[in-house]
Every structure is written in C-alpha cells, then in structure tokens.
Structure 1
Amino acid sequence: MADRDMLIKQTQFTKTYYRDVYPAIEPTSPSNSQAGKVVVVTGAGKGIGRESFVKSFAKAGAKALVIVARSSGPLEEVRQEILSISKDIIVQAVVADVRDANSVTALWETVKEKFGRADVLINNAGTLNAGTVAEEDVDEWWLDFETNIRGTFLISQGFLKLLGKESKGTILNLSSALGLATVPGLSAYSLTKLVAHKMQAFIAVENPNVVAIGMHPGLIRTDIVTGDLMPFAFDTFDLAGGTAVWLATEKAAFLNGKYVNVNWSVEELVQRKEEIVGQKKLDLVLSGEFGEQQFL
C-alpha cells in the first residue's frame, strides 16, 4: 500500500508538514484576525473557494466577504453558511464571469459602491482540462488559459485599480504543484499555473503596496482531484483556509511574489525568512551556472 504522504514528502520544504489546520494558522486566533478587511473570493460557489476560503475568513472575523461565482444558484447557500459562522459579517454575493471584462468591471463597481475598497483578493476560480498536446482540440486546450490566465489578470487588474497605490492589499492566487511538474495530459493546466505565478511576481514588483503570493492548496478531495491522485488526497479544507488567512497577515509579507505549499509549516518558513529572501528561494528560476566569470 502506497504511503499516503508520499507526494507531500516529495515536495517537502520544511521539516514539519501538515495535512490539517494547526494552531499557527487557526483562523480564530487573534494573531490571524482579519477584522476590518473586505475580502473578495472568486469561485466561491463550491469546492475550495466555498469550504476553505470563505469559511476560514469568516471565522477570522473579516468585515465583509464578497462571494463571486458564475451562477447565482449556490451563492445564497454560501451566504447563509457565512452568517451561521458570524452574523456580524456583511455578505455581498456577485454573479460574474472572470473571463468577461465587462462582467469583471461590474463586479468591482459593486465592491466600490458597497465598500469603497477591497483589502484581500483570492483568485480561486479556475478550470482543469486534460488532453495531450498532440491530440487535444485547440479550443478545449485554450479554455484553461481563458479562466486561469485571462480571468486572473482581469480580476487582479480590477483589484489593483480600486486599491490604488497607497493602501495595502493582498492577492492570493490559487497555485498548484502541477505548475512546477510535467505531467502528461495536463499541459494546459500546468502552463496556466506557471504563467499565473510569474504574473504575481510582476504584481509584487510593480505594486510595492501589494503582497501577492501563490498558494498550492494541497490535495483535497474535490471534483478536480481524480484517478491516481485520490489515494493521496487527505488534506483538509481547513488546512487551505487557515493557511490563506495566515498569508493575509503581515507575518507573511516576506513571501511576496513567491510560491507556498499549504503542507509546509508557516512557523518554519518564518524561522527561515532571511534564507528564503536572501537566497531567493521559493521563486521560479532557471537552474544552472550563468555568466562569463565561470569561464575565466
């Protein structure tokens, strides 16, 4: 029988790893409070968006949650789930397609009208289509780019414009370890996650007031995890949600522009802060020896 932690160990960056929420990332901890913040979550109608991000930020005491999905069907249920956690949270449901510029513009106009600003954006909406480069229909292959790249760009741009250059903000992009791997049949999805990671690096460099972090949510038993991955999918929704809450605090600012796996210990990441920043770890880089000096 396969070790259910095998994939976690292969991507292990900290000595300690987790598969469920733990004290350092507990959303109800005062040190992780999101009090006063307006949090926007895309793809909030189901899966990780609903079970991880929405519920954890509600537990962390956010002032308002803007829940975004392509259809209105599940949003009322999500709203009631939020209010069952805290009746003090303002919940704004918005139907929007992240791939459509007009729809995204309308979303941010609603946020501006209701709250004047947003403090945290969680780019969770995404798609995964399988097919090899040789056999996949080009339009089917490109669908992941429409949502995972175009959608992430449009939503992020709207957030940045509303935020301006003075107020502090946080963007959390739902990343994936698959963006760093070469898995046959997943070229489109993998490439979109790779590009999205580079996009957040540009956001971090171009906007000193914004912290942008890519977060691999772990292996959770959702409809996007199938087949060979199922025997290893034991991470909880609370682990992803708690990590996201922690990443939206000042403690995580040193991870700006970087990639983080929810299985890693955030306490150990903080302990290794100087190493991570100074040696540019957790960045996407080309490995090798470069420069003429090596040949002199």
Structure 2
Amino acid sequence: MPLPTNSLTNTYHRDTYPAISPTKPSLSQAGRTILITGGGGGIGFEIARSFARASASRIIIVGRRNSVLDTAIEKLRGEFKDSTTEFIARQGDISDDSSITDLWDFLNSQNIFVRVLVLNAAQFTPNGNDTLRMDKRELMKAFDVNVGGNFSMSAKFIDQPLRPAGQQLNLINVSTAGIHMHPAKNQNPYTSSKAAFTAIIGRVADEHPIEDVQIISFHPGALYSEGVSKRVDKSLLKWDESKWEVIISNLSPTDRPTY
C-alpha cells in the first residue's frame, strides 16, 4: 500500500493551525521537563521547538553526535533567549544499555524529574530488497534501537525514583506510516522493528491506567527530514511541514484531570 493521495477527512492539514497552537494557554507545558531522544536534528529538533513555544520549563535533547547536539542547543537558546525554558544536551546512544543507565543516573544526580518522554531516535538501516540476504548482525541493529533502546528508555522513565507519588507521566512514541504500508520496499528491518515496538508499547498501555502513564503512538506525517533526504528525492511527495504542535495538543492538560 503506497502513501495515500487523498484524505479521509474534508480538511487535510499540512501545517499547524490555531486549535493546536503551542501558545494556546490550555496547552501550556509550563512546569514540565521534556526529554527527546534523537533531539539534535530533523523531527526531534522540531519537537523541541514546539515544546519550547509551549513554555516547557526544561527541554533535554539526547543524541549520539555531540557536534549536532551543540549546534541544536545553540539554535534553541538563540531562538528562545527571552523565554524561561532551560535547554540541556546529553550525548547518549539508546542502543547501549550502559549509555541509557548513565543518562538516567545523571538526571537523578541533578534532581531532574522527567514528565514527558518523546521516543524519537530511530535506526533506519540496513536497507535492501531481500531481507534474508542481509547480515543478521546488521539486521539486529534496527531492533537494538527501535525496540530494545525504546524499551529500556521507557522502563527507566516509568521507574524514576524522583517521580512524585501519583504523578502522571506522558510517553510519546514517534511511529511511522511504514508499518501500515505493504510493500515497504527496501525498508523491512526499519518498518518491522518500528511495528514491533508500537505493538509492545500498546500492550504496556493496556497494563498501565492513563492516570499512571499516558501513552501516545503516532505517525508524524510525510516529512523531508535530514534522514529522509539521504534516501528519497524531494520531488517524490508533497511533504508536510515539520511542526509538532499536534503532539502537545494530545497531552493531558496540566489544569484538569485526565479521562
């Protein structure tokens, strides 16, 4: 199944609109700390910008490349220099359990409680049209990040020692349209591993009431991000704008109970 060319609704938005504006008072993220994996560029960076526009108290971006993180933090601090949002960058690799442990140990040592976790980091390779001819070790890299890494991050997030009793958490899984596409040419390791974690986190949602942790999995749209640009020609699709107010509009509000 290719990407759809028509819409199931009368209006199809490719950009933000007032109802989901992060500056809307009812969508304020004031008082919340947000952690975004893969937050140094592309989708993750735009997610960070949207949370900053929603007045999040602290935004932590995590990624493997220090140079990318440094550039991202400089941009965020420059754009939001008049805001009260604190921006923190931490190098980390979610495919490595010790790296994940180091990250959460650091947060605990700094007395930082994370209210919202955005699982955005992803492994796209290996690619190929014959999965059974792939090297198993290369194949498993996609599962190490997209399943194992996201699982470990989620477990650490839910079990934070600094979490106040009764405090609801918000966990956001950035999924992909690829898990619904058949065939997904040359993308089996990526789409299969993303589908696997989406299934796992859905079962986790069955186990935890929304008052404990609100879990959202969503397809982010057709975005011409840095990663996509390395594999796909821009003329292939009419791309959506890389703005992430839709995430914030679905989080449980701070000023009323969750139903």
Counterpart position of 2:223: 220
Cα distance in 1, alignment partners of residues 97 and 250 from structure 2: 28
* Matching residue's letter, 1:245: I
The equivalences for 1:1-296 within 5 A come to 7-9=3-5, 12-50=7-45, 52-87=46-81, 88-129=84-125, 130-131=127-128, 132-162=130-160, 163=163, 166-182=166-182, 183-208=184-209, 209-225=212-228, 226-227=231-232, 230-238=235-243, 241-250=244-253
Q: Give structure 1 regions of 4+ aligned residues with deviation exceeding 4 angstroms.
A: none
The TM-score with structure 2 as length reference comes to: 0.86
Structure 1: runs of 5+ lacking an equivalent: 1-5, 255-296
Contact 1:58 1:85 in 2 (8 A): no
Indicate conservation of the 8 Å contact 2:224/2:234, yes or no: no
8 Å Cα contact 2:62-2:89 kept in structure 1: yes
Q: Any stretches of 5+ residues in structure 2 without a counterpart?
A: none
Give the number of aligned pairs: 244
For residues 13 and 122 of structure 1, the distance between their equivalents in structure 2, rounded to whole angstroms, comes to 27
Q: Residue 120 of structure 1 contacts residue 248 of structure 1 at CA under 8 Å; is this kept in 2?
A: no
Shift of 1:104: 0.5
Amino acid at match of 2:173: N
Alpha-carbon spacing, 1:17–1:187, altered in 2? closer, same or farther (3 Å): same
- Which amino acid in the other structure matches residue 134 of structure 1? L
Kindly provide the CA deviation profile for residues 120-143 of structure 1, in whole angstroms up to 9, marking residues without a partner as x.
Answer: 000000011212223222222221
Tell me by how many angstroms 1:116 deviates: 3.5
Q: CA deviation at 1:229?
A: 7.3
Structure with the higher fraction of residues in helix conformation:
1
Q: CA deviation at 1:227?
A: 3.3
Instruction: Work out the percentage of aligned pairs sharing the same amino acid.
Output: 29
- CA-CA distance at 1:246 after TM superposition: 1.4
Per the normalisation by structure 1, the TM-score is 0.76
